[in-house]
């Protein structure tokens, strides 16, 4: 307790985007918070903003695109729109050696993880980094976010199974940048494998990542998990490119 107090005095919390001082366990300062947009009404299939007219009378919660050609996961829970202060925060977490930002940012992810757990998910798994990248960075940001969100969204005595290294990235893929959706799919094909398939059998899995761009990486991970026997895969991402 005292140590925590001393740490707080020595290293007060700072805004994840602009580094201004903020109250403890707050991700963004007041100015940056204005540049953060939460995704509320989104398509359940792809996580993109959707309108009631788009959902039409189907009541499926899915956009036209997803009804015609669904992605392999059964539900997407995006939290923030990628851009502005959110992008800054994610980059600071990943590339700025600011691992501690996983705490306030993971807290933002907690309601989505809680909602997925309420919907029947019983297993949590992060999108993995390639071992070489993991060595460079020292941590997997998706796992860091997931650990915080899981702790904060805990509601019942039965805790979900957290499988930190359930998936392996067996091929280091280049940064996907502005590749087209089709070439993204090609680049990530065959890049993942399940370490020990026993853990996936019949499990309802929540796959967690920091950023969802087109969903190619998450879709590839989902296909691998379903092939390994998972009953269902849902997806949660801190930021969704919209
Ligand atoms: Zn700020
Ligand atoms: Zn959709």
Nearest one of 25, 62, 71, 32 to 220, comparing CA atoms: 71
Query: Of the bound ligands, which one is closest to the alpha carbon of residue 242?
Result: 2
Is 40 within a domain?
A: no
Q: How far is the CA of 22 from the centre of ligand 1 (A)?
A: 8
CA of 72 to the centre of ligand 1 (A): 36
Q: Tell me whether residue 196 is in a domain.
A: yes
Cα of 152 to ligand 1 centre, how many Å? 23
Question: Which numbered ligand comes closest to the C-alpha of 51?
Answer: 2
In a domain, 39, yes or no: no
Count of C-beta atoms within a 10 Å radius of residue 174: 7
d(CA 222, CA 88): 28
User: Is 37 within the bounds of a domain?
Assistant: no
33 C-alpha vs ligand 1 centroid, how far in Å? Answer: 7
Q: How far is it, in rounded angstroms, from Cα 63 to Cα 47? A: 9
Is residue 38 domain-resident? no
Question: Rounded to whole angstroms, how far apart are CA atoms 190 and 174?
Answer: 14
In a domain, 46, yes or no: no
| Per-residue pLDDT tens digits of the chain, which is 242 residues long | 677 667 666 678 999 999 999 998 899 999 999 999 999 999 999 999 987 656 555 677 899 999 999 999 999 999 999 999 999 999 999 988 899 999 999 999 999 999 999 999 999 999 999 999 999 999 999 999 999 999 999 877 778 999 999 999 999 987 777 788 888 889 999 999 998 889 999 999 999 999 999 999 999 999 999 999 999 999 999 999 99
**How many domains does the chain divide into?**
1
Cα(229) to centroid(ligand 1), Å: 44
Confirm whether 29 is domain-assigned.
no
Q: Which ligand is nearest to the CA of 16?
A: 1
Contact 156, 194 (CB under 8 A): no
Is 109 inside any structural domain?
Answer: yes
**Residue 88 domain boundaries:** 71-240
CATH (domain of 168): 3.40.50
Prediction pTM value: 0.92
């Amino acid at each position: 307790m005292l140590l925590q107090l001393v740490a707080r005095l020595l290293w007060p919390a700072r805004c994840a985007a602009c580094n201004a001082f903020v109250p403890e366990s707050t991700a963004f300062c007041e100015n940056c918070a204005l540049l953060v947009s939460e995704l509320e009404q989104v398509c359940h299939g792809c996580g993109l903003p959707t309108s009631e007219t788009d959902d039409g009378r189907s009541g499926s919660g899915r956009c036209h695109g997803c009804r015609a050609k669904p992605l392999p996961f059964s539900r997407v829970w995006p939290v923030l729109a990628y851009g502005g202060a959110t992008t800054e925060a994610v980059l600071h977490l990943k590339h700025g050696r600011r691992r501690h930002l996983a705490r306030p940012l993971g807290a933002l992810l907690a309601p989505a993880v809680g909602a997925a757990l309420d919907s029947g998910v019983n297993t949590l798994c992060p999108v993995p980094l390639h071992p070489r990248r993991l060595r460079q960075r020292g941590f997997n940001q998706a796992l860091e976010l997931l650990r915080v969100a899981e702790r904060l969204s805990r509601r019942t005595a039965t805790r979900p199974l957290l499988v930190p290294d359930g998936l392996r990235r067996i091929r280091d893929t280049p940064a996907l940048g502005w590749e087209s959706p089709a070439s993204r799919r090609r680049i990530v094909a065959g890049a993942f494998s399940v370490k020990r398939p026993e853990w996936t059998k019949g499990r309802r899995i929540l796959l967690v990542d920091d950023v969802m761009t087109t969903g190619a990486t998450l879709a590839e991970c989902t296909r691998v998990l379903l092939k390994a026997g998972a009953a269902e895969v849902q997806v949660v991402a801190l930021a969704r490119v919209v």
